[in-house]
Amino acid sequence: MGKDRYQKMFPVSWEQLHRDCRALSWRLVEKGPWKGILAITRGGLVPAAIIARELDLHLIDTVCLSSYDWKEQGSANILKKVDMDGEGWLLIDDLVDTGKTAKIVRDMVPKAHFATVYAKPEGRPLVETFITEVSQDTWILFPWDAGSQFVEPIVQVNE
């Protein structure tokens, strides 16, 4: 589908992201206790930091994948795996979109509890806990990707 698949824009401010991550923390605290957090990089890093603070978790690791190039979702490139099944761990990401990345990570850590701040219908079945659902044709514009408009990353991938 490419860029044409996004018909709507859902801008998220830092304050809204913080509120949504705290709301997610309220849901997760009841499902614990947790051994630690696995953040899916890069999108899951900020939510993981907020959730770790709210749940007083200090053991944090990362699963590193790359699957997005601005509005183009490509195939996932696994950059770093973890050596565990995820039992007792929270797997955190900013959103689940088509579920392609989520499926890869779920296969890596099948026993982790997968939580995202935002979910779209195609990927939602792979997530146990989330806060806000948006339509599949909505681009979620996260605060780290925006100023008053889209800001290109300092390092260009395709240079």
Q: What is the pLDDT of residue 78?
A: 86
Asked whether the beta carbons of 46 and 15 are under 8 A apart, the reply is no
- Is residue 157 in a domain? no
Helix 45-54 crosses helix 14-29 at what angle (to 10 degrees)? 50
Q: What is the pLDDT of residue 72?
A: 54
Q: Alpha-carbon distance 12 to 34, whole Å?
A: 28
- CATH at residue 32: 3.40.50.2020
pTM: 0.85
- Is residue 50 in a domain? yes
Catalytic entry in 85, 97, 107, 145: 97
Domain count for the chain, please give it.
Answer: 1
Residues of the chain scoring pLDDT < 50: 1, 70
Q: What is the pLDDT of residue 157?
A: 65
**Is 93 annotated as catalytic?**
yes
Catalytic entry in 20, 93, 137, 145: 93
Domain enclosing residue 134, as ranges = 19-144
